[in-house]
Amino acid sequence: NKALADILTADNGLLTRLEDALQPLEGQQSALLLVTDLEALHPFMRIGAIESQLQGKFHVPTIFLYPGVRTGKT
C-alpha cells in the first residue's frame, strides 16, 4: 500500500498524469477522457481534491468512473 501511496502523491503524480492526458486533447472537437479504476485511490486520497486542482484545465469532456452505489452520505 505504501508503494501505491508514494506513486499517487509523490511530486503530484496523479495530478501531473491527468494534466498530461488532458493537454494533448485540448482543441479536439470529439475528444473524451475517461478516468477509471478510481477505487485504487482510497484510502490514500479523494479524487475531488485532484478535480479541484484541475479546475479550468478541462477543455474536453472528462468522465470519472466511480464504482459502487451513491448513498447520499459524505
The x, y and z cell numbers of residue 34, run together, are 475517461
pTM greater than 0.75: no
CA-closest candidate to residue 46, choices 16, 71, 74:
74
Q: Are 60 and 33 in contact (CB under 8 A)?
A: yes
DSSP, res 16: H
List, for residues 12-36, the tens digit of each pLDDT value: 778 888 999 999 999 998 999 998 8
DSSP, res 35: E
Distance CA 26, CA 11 (A): 24
